[in-house]
A = this chain, B = another copy of it.
């Protein structure tokens, strides 16, 4: 029997626990808060829960499901408790800083990023099947033991995820484009509307705003801490995508300044055609 350890019993950690317990695994959970431990047990997300990482000394595979800023400190505390065969994986939305830091201290680590979520967070909203049909990216390096990769892959497939393997750099660059850049873009849109100098126009804009504004501004109105973490931990790739995005904005500005309506229409035709390539789950 495989013992699964989970550090961080929030939406992701709790949902991993719910699925794996249903599949017959023994699940041991660690949280910083006693109340969360109690809730995780009551909801059936874990078999046992503790405030102490030592609970996980018997785990064969440990999921680190903490906020990204706590992944490395957590790992450092875990090391004295683990045997050499213990496999570690994480669920962080940025991979390079994690993979690089971990490779120095624990080779038996498989970087992971299950791309599922909800507007709400916390153990209360954990659910069975959260990862079903969602992407689950694994970012092993040349030094990662193949049998460890295989074991994490098996678990990801048991969660019914679509498993993708890629280089951690490619992962971070891809999520910068489709996940982190949109937050900065969407927030800048809200700022622009609020910054209008004529207060009548701001009030009117608020009354007239409709589904177009609602959708384009959604991710810019999300959790500020998450957005800041994306920028901080994926700094170089987020900057790179922002530079490239600014070039596109400059292009539209130039087209409109020069009244080049054909180019504008051609560009919007290109984006209309190509957007659907990013919506494969809807086809």
Contacts and interface: CB of A to CB of B under 8 A. Distances in A.
Given A170-B204, A207-B135, A242 B232 contact: no
B193 A178 contact: yes
A274 interface: yes
Interface string A34-51: 000000000000000000
Given A178-B213, A196-B173, A221-B275, A242 B231 contact: no
Nearest to A222: B272
A135 B13 CA distance: 44
B272 A223 contact: yes
A115 to B, nearest CB: 6
A204 B270 contact: no
Given A189-B182, A191-B271, A222-B272, A208 B256 contact: no
Given A205-B177, A206-B277, A272 B191 contact: no
Contacts of A171: 204
Contacts of A278: 190, 193, 205-206, 209, 213-214, 217
Interface in A81-122: 115
Contacts of A276: 221
B228 A268 contact: yes
Contacts of A188: 185, 245, 248-249, 251-252
B201 A268 contact: no
Interface string A220-250: 1111110110011001001101111110111
A231 B271 contact: no
Interface stretch (A1-9, A55-63, A146-154, A257-265): A257-265
Interface of A: 115, 134-135, 137, 162, 164, 166-167, 170-171, 173-175, 177-179, 181-196, 198, 200-201, 204-210, 212-225, 227-228, 231-232, 235, 238-239, 241-246, 248-253, 255-257, 259, 261, 264-272, 274-282
5 contacts: A174-B201, A177-B205, A182-B216, A222-B268, A231-B264
